[in-house]
Every structure is written in structure tokens, then in C-alpha cells.
Structure 1
Amino acid sequence: MADGEERDGDGQGIARRLKAYEGLPAVVSGTGKDPVNAPMIRHWCEATGDTNPAYTGPDAIAPPTMLQVWTMGGLSGHTGPTGRSSAYDELLALLDESGCTSVVATDCEQEYHRPLRPGDEITFDAVIESVSDRKTTRLGAGYFVTTRMDVRVGPDLVGTHRFRILKYAPAARREKRPPRPRPVVNRDNAGFWEGVREGRLLIQRCTACGTLRHPWLPGCNTCGHLGWDTVEASGTGTVHSYVVMHHPPFPAFAPPYAVGLVELTEGVRMVSNVVGVPYDEVRIGMPVRLEFREYEEELVLPVFRAEETAGQRSREAAV
């Protein structure tokens, strides 16, 4: 029997039954809870640090990456007919019955046809675009389900959002701690990870306006120019903000540990572990210095070691 053709209690192929849902609606005649609006655009830009002037002023547009935001139901959910279709609920129920009771979002793709502007009222429909054959992953065996959502303003298609999840049966727990997840390397950030392997922290710089940016992007979020080069970070910075991870634990990590948003001397910020001090002694404003750690074979990651401060030296001297 081929992989993906395991049978359920009725003797029917699970994979064949799942494939029957391809092309069926996932959402029909959905409507945005709110029109496109300036406050939500402002919150998004503040959260992402995006200062592009196109998103402010009387002729503002919404950042294209907000496409899915306008379709979300928030904590209270959508009311009325808007919501998941019975076909999508049936598909998820069938996956649950087959033992694939866990779910994780894997990736999304977006296409933009025209900008959204404050006042636009969006509608959306979604379809179950594909259900994969049974796949075995580190998390467990299961199926990738891809939905395609078409977003419209009136009759005009303004964007398409593809969202993929993995519904899987969790793999048996191992006593040995699993390896750390590897970073996702693509054509937009490959240069950054090449630099890390060489022990260099490279920051992108726009060749038109000189703005530095991190994480790496295909274009400048200040002027939109696509040309760029790099500068090497000095390796110094301060903790701009941080969190201490306690729960839920991830098998590859041993909580509690501190994850910091570090502001580099060059002005950009990046997220990484803060090491060299107990997790409960990390503080905003703490000076840190870059170092590269090899965690496993062929896995080198940039982390930030807390530097000794005058206050620490005073306390140690008093002791």
C-alpha cells in the first residue's frame, strides 16, 4: 500500500477521502469586521518599525503585508454567516479522527493586485486548494492543508492569501533532547547566514538612501529601492526589551531562558538569546556584546553576552 493510502476503520483510503475536499469552499462571502482604517495601520507600522511615508497622510495606503489582518475576526470572531464552511470543519474532523489531532502553521504566500486604502470595505472567499499525501516530519506524520483566500473590494480582486497548516499525529517523545530547529534560509536572507557562518554579523544597507535594515528584506522599507549592500556590525548594543521563556517548553530548549530584543550600536534591532547572566538578571538598557555559538554540527547562531556594568563591579567589590 502506497504512503498516504493507509485505511480507516471503514476500509476506505484516508488520503482519497481527504483529496475529495480539494476545491471545496473554506469560507463563503466573508466580510471584514472593520473597514481598512488608519489606527490599525498605525499600530501595525509601530509594531513592525515600518516608517515608510506611504502609510501615513491623506493619501495613505495600508502595508501590503496587512492583507490577512482585514479578514480576521479577532477574539470575538465573526458574526452572522461569515466563518468557516461545513466542508472545512468536516475536513479537520476527519483529520482528527485519523489521529492527526495537532496542528501547526507552516507558511503563507501573498499576492497583491492593488493597494488597500482607509475606508475600503473588504470581502473574502476561501477555498481548500490542496491536501497533501501523508508526510512524515520531525513533529509527526500528517497532512499539509493549503487554503487560498481571495480578498476583494467590491468586484475588484485586491490580493490573494495562501495559508498552509500541518495537521499531524505527534511523534513519540524521545528521552534525548532533539536538535535545535534550523533557521529558514531563503534567497532574501542567505547572505546573512553566510556571514554568520564566517563569524560576521552583516546588516543590509540601502544603496539609494543609506538606511540600514534588519531582518533582511528584498527592498528598502524607507524608500522602496531594491539595491543594497552590507556593513558589518561592530557587535555592541543594549537590551531594548526582553522576555523570559518559562512555558510552554519546546523540546530543543531548556527553560527558563532570556530572549532579548537587542538594539545594535548601528541602530537596527534583532532578536536573540541573552547569555552570560542568570535569566532573572537581564534588564532593559543592559550593555551586551555579540558572540557566535556553535550549538550542534553546522549550526552557528549569533547570541549576545551581557557585559559587566559599573553596578555589577561595585556589588562584587563589596562582597
Structure 2
Amino acid sequence: MVGKEFGRIYAWDDVNPAMVRQWCEVMGINNPLYTDPEYALRTEFEGLVAPPAMLQSWCQSGLYQNNYPPGSTDDNPYGVLSLLEEQGYPSVVAVNSELSFDRYLKMGEKLYYTTRFEHLSEEKQTALGTGFFVTLKMTYFSEQSSGDEKVGELLFRVFKFKPAQPVEAKQEKESTIPTIKRSKPGISDDTRFFWEGCDAHELRIQHCQSCHQLQHPPAPVCTRCQSFDLDYKVASGKGELYSYVVMHYPEIPPFDYPNPIGLIELEEGVRLTAGLVGMEPKNIAIGTPVEVCFETFDGDLTLPMFKVREA
């Protein structure tokens, strides 16, 4: 397989100012050449350019793995790593990547890259174990009417090895690690009714007996009229998805990932945050009708979760 060339992986989007601005904000870059059109127009580039270090990000798949634009190759350049795993080299260490840039990228350019399986080392002996260095090289191009132009390269190298310590022994040691449970909520006199309702499979929402406002999360006083005369109403548990996030990283036990979390607007008019169950993250949509369901974790913690409402 050494020397094999893999087909094109296209970028979802042209090089554009919005992604450049967001990348600069995240990385703490304030170079006006990247974000100030008037300044950039006065430079030798005669317009905005993208930070060179963004090169790899333009052709990444996005939120979902291997989700590439139409026309991209289906051939997996990382297949060699799977083959090594099948031969007893499952572990990874000493990953490094080297980016090189031929020129700045301008707004509106459309990129793609091809991959070459550059090199497989002889078997190496290290303190961690025995394995191989695998080197791949991605070459990035800009589509041009006069002929596609090379704009940069990414060299990716990884060490796949067979651990000196048997994997079975490591697994046996790990099995002695105690199971991490969900943290229990801090319960006060103001919130006790809510958690007792969960145990009874009731979605209890705080109610003001003076002005009849419902409010969540519970508070010591009514947020509208400041009355202390509070009780609760049992909500229908039906509503719709007002907003949501899908947690991917960092992965924290004992949660499953990806972990969708919704902001639910109940029929009664209040909103609360809860986990979403039975929903594929890519199919979640704002406005989806949902209903409460109660799940018990670790034998003694019952939480309200929300699922798609049955017709």
C-alpha cells in the first residue's frame, strides 16, 4: 500500500470571511489582514486572506465523522491503521503533524486535498512496545479555471504499536476502578418538592398562590410579586423543544456521548433544561413536540428526561 494515492476530499464551503472571523475569535488572533476589509484592501493582497494555519480546517468533515461533500472519495486513507490493529498493533502514541503553506488563501477559493500513503517504517522497539511509524501526506489544492493550484501540505505521522504489557492485564487492572455515578442534586427546602415529584413520576412546577405565576427553577420567593406564598402544580409534561445543544467533548463519565440536552418549553409556559432520549442528534430540530419520561440512575436518582411526543 505504500505509495498509494487516495482521491479527493472536498471542502464543504468556499474560503469565507465568517469562518475566518470565528476561527480568529477562538484562537485569539486580531490581525486585521484577516478580519478588516478596509485594511486588507490597502495591502499587497488587495482584500482579506485566511490565516495559513486554517488550511486543514477547510476540508474537515464537520460535526459528523466522514461526512464529506458530494464528489469526495469513499476510499479510506486510514485503512492501513485498521490493518495494523488486526495484526495485533492496537495502540497509538507519538502522533505528530506538520503543516506547510505555499501561499495565503483568498476569499471565495474552493479547496480539496488528496492523500498519499507516504511511508511505513521498519518495526521499531520502544519502551512502550513494538510497532510501526505510519506516515500520510495530504496535499491541498485550490480549484482554478487555469488549472488547480497546490496551496499547502499536511504530513501526518502516527506510531501504531503492540504494548509491552499485555492488553489483558491492563484490562483486568482497569476493571477494579469503581463505577462513576451521576452526581446527585443539592436539595434544599425550596427545591425538595421538585425532586420528590420526580420520585413520584410527577413534573412539579413551582406556583405562586398570590399572583398564580408558574416559575422554574424554583426560588424562595415569587419572581413576579415577591410573595412567599408558594406551592406547586403538576405539569402535563408536554411541550416542544425550544433550543438544544449536543455535547461531544470532553467525555465525562458516566454520561453517554454524543449527549443531547434540550431547553423544553412546557405547555404551561415555563422552560426547563433536561436530557433528550431516543433522539438521533442529527435529527433533532427546534419545535419538535416532546413529552416527559422519568429515568432512574444508579438505583436512587430519578430525573425527568424528554422524548419525542407520540402522536
Larger-Rg structure: 2
Structure-2-length-normalised TM-score: 0.45
TM-score, length-normalised on structure 1?
0.44
